[in-house]
Amino acid sequence: MTNRFLILAYAAVWAVLLLYAWSLVRRERRLEKELEDLQGDSTGERAGIEGVSASGHKST
Amino acid sequence: MHLIATLVWVFVALYLIFEYAPQEVTMGEVQRIFYIHVPAAWTAFLAYFILFLASVRYLWKRSLRADDYAHAAGEVGFIFCSCVLITGPLWAKPVWGIWWTWDARLTSTFVLWLLFIAYLMVRSYVENPARASVLAAVVGIIGFVDVPIVYMSIRWWRTQHPQPVIGGGEGSGLDPAMRLTLFVAWGAFLCLFSYFLRRRLRIAALARELRDARRARALQPAPGVR
């Protein structure tokens, strides 16, 4: 009977800690991806602008 | 490497808790909740202490790094304080016959948990980031008053919660094997705490980088505009 409480306590604590670890990893990955996307977009736009100013035409 | 060291420490702690530490005479097996309940509480205190110091530093120096530390410690501290409030009632029910009572120790710990929530809510709901940091720092500093109250409550008042077994004066104390197990378990919790704190600081750094990149992008002239 008392072992049930012991098991519940340990299971609950590890569940909370694992869920938190998972949420940290997920948030970190999402931010990294957003940053990569943003940097990718900026690079693409800059390349586009440079293409226009160098030749007077839009680069293909 | 940090994660591997943490996991090794956790497994050593679990081995000591379930194989090495002797069974307590009156409570039996359920007393082993002690080895996660107490270290989680000490870790939550440490988190709030870091939150407090970092908040003071932020208000004094306007250091963004200090602000990141305060935010990270607040979030991780909330997790460990939640562990205390989960394991406490699960230990209380078989031993006291009740899940909860509003005695000084339990109530002040619950207030600490609410303070962590208040701190995180201020950070989430105030839209201006600089204003959120200042307000949160003020909440963090004022709330720190509760930490010594939680710690001293079982010394100052008669409570349902047992008297301290570490640093409790005459008549208190722990079996050496139990003491060793407790401190190894706390070591495991500290490893987890520092691992979470590092990951959370990395998230704060990434979020700031993203915000700066978005701002820089918004300030760039549109293509074709001089």
Q: Is A2 on the interface with B (CB under 8 A)?
A: yes
A19 touching B (Cβ < 8 Å): no
Q: Give the angle B111-B168-B172 at the CA atoms, nearest 5°.
A: 125
- Residuewise pLDDT in 10s, chain A (60 residues): 558 999 999 999 999 999 999 999 999 999 999 999 988 876 766 666 555 544 444 443
Percent of chain B with pLDDT over 70: 95
Residues in B closer than 8 angstroms to A42, CB to CB, are 213, 217, 220
Closest to A10 in 3D by CA, of B114, B78, B18:
B18
Q: Hunting for tokens 């956790």 — which residue is that?
A: B10
Interface test with A, best of B210, B220, B226 (most A CBs within 10 A): B210
Question: Across all residues in chain B, what is the average pLDDT?
Answer: 91
Q: Tens of pLDDT along B104-136?
A: 999 999 999 999 999 999 999 998 889 999 999
DSSP H or E segment with residue A57 = none
Work out the minimum CA distance from A60 to partner chain B, whole angstroms. 16
> How far is the C-alpha of B57 from the C-alpha of B51, rounded, in Å?
10
Does A53 touch chain B if contact means CB atoms closer than 8 Å?
A: no
- Confidence band, pLDDT 50/70/90 cuts, at residue B225: low
Please state the pTM of the whole predicted model. 0.88
Lowest mean pLDDT among B49-53, B89-93, B211-215: B211-215
Residues B143, B48 contacting (CB under 8 angstroms): yes
* pLDDT-above-90 percentage for chain B: 74
The distance of A32 to chain B (nearest Cα, Å) reads 7
Q: Residues B157-175: pLDDT tens digits?
A: 777 777 777 766 666 678 8
**What's the sign of the alpha-carbon dihedral B66, B72, B75, B76?**
negative
